[in-house]
């Protein structure tokens, strides 16, 4: 039975590096305006597919401007990108695609975070983890413009939503997700519990499907990171039920 760890920014370690960026993904699904099921206007965070390239999609221009759209328009756009996304992706409102674009500068550590739910990895660290047998790592190219002469070789990890948080870590009276748009109107629990039956067995790194800002690594992932001395990730073991 593998052990599972919640991955977060080790801010003490990442603060030692000067790396900084102002970047966003090239394309995205719009947010949803006035869901006909729950009435919410929303776009989720954490559903990011940096390795999914929309550049050959004739309608790509419709994915460039973040905005909310009514349900029927959202569904039309979601159907256009579905064939390009990994099978079984949920693609909720606010899902992002394509390389990070923007400007960057400074020295990058092995792992740097953009917000709480995107991980940038240096190529030497990624190669070492893959050589150590860590499964399911996908490094996507970035389109960051560096001012310095020798820019670091950095990639964004595409971390796909798999598995679920267990219902026991939500309040007992919590409403189920909206049947129309899938929105779960709950705060992230302070003490997450993973739902054992839902967890993937073929990857050592994933996001939680019903709370995509929670990134999980297995003990194999943690051991390879520590063995390589790669800094930037804080590990907290989560219970499984």
Chain residues in the site for Zn ion (CB under 5 A): 35, 37-38, 178, 180-181, 183
Quick one: 181 or 208, whose CB is closer to Zn ion?
A: 181
Q: Angle, nearest 10°, between helix axes 123-131 and 219-228?
A: 120
Cβ count near 141 (within 10 Å): 15
Indicate the DSSP class of residue 224. H
Residue 200, Cβ density class (10 Å: 0-12 exposed, 13-18 middle, ≥19 buried):
middle
Min dist CB 30 to Zn ion, Å, is: 15
Tell me how far CA of residue 40 lies from CA of 37, 70, 71, in angstroms.
8, 11, 11
Quick one: 29 or 178, whose CB is closer to Zn ion?
A: 178
Quick one: 38 or 193, whose CB is closer to Zn ion?
A: 38
DSSP letter string, 78-119: HHHHGGGSPTT----TT-EEEEEEEEEES---SEEEETTTEE
Quick one: 67 or 241, whose CB is closer to Zn ion?
A: 67
Min dist CB 181 to Zn ion, Å, is: 3
* Backbone torsions φ then ψ of 139, nearest 5 degrees: -95, 125
d(CA 33, CA 205): 32
Quick one: 54 or 181, whose CB is closer to Zn ion?
A: 181
Min dist CB 109 to Zn ion, Å, is: 39
Min dist CB 76 to Zn ion, Å, is: 17
Min dist CB 91 to Zn ion, Å, is: 15
């Amino acid at each position: 039975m593998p052990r599972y760890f919640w991955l977060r920014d080790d801010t003490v370690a990442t603060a030692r590096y000067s790396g900084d960026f102002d970047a966003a993904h090239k394309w995205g699904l719009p947010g949803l305006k006035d869901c006909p099921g729950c009435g919410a206007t929303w776009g989720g965070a954490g559903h990011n597919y940096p390795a999914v390239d929309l550049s050959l999609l004739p309608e790509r221009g419709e994915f460039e401007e973040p905005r909310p759209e009514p349900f029927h328009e959202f569904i039309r756009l979601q159907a256009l990108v579905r064939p390009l996304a990994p099978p079984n992706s949920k693609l909720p409102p606010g899902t992002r695609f394509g390389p990070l674009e923007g400007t960057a500068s400074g020295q990058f550590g092995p792992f740097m975070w953009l917000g709480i739910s995107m991980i940038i990895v240096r190529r030497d660290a990624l190669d070492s983890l893959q050589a150590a047998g860590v499964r399911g790592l996908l490094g996507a190219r970035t389109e960051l413009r560096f001012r310095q002469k020798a820019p670091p070789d950095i990639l964004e990890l595409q971390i796909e939503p798999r598995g679920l948080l267990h219902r026991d870590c939500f309040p007992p009276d919590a409403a189920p997700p909206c049947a129309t748009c899938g929105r779960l109107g709950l705060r992230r629990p302070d003490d997450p519990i993973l739902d054992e039956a839902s967890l993937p067995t073929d990857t050592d790194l994933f996001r939680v499907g019903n709370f995509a800002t929670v990134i999980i690594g297995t003990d194999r992932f943690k051991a390879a990171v520590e063995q390589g001395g790669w800094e930037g990730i804080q590990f907290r073991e989560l219970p499984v039920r």
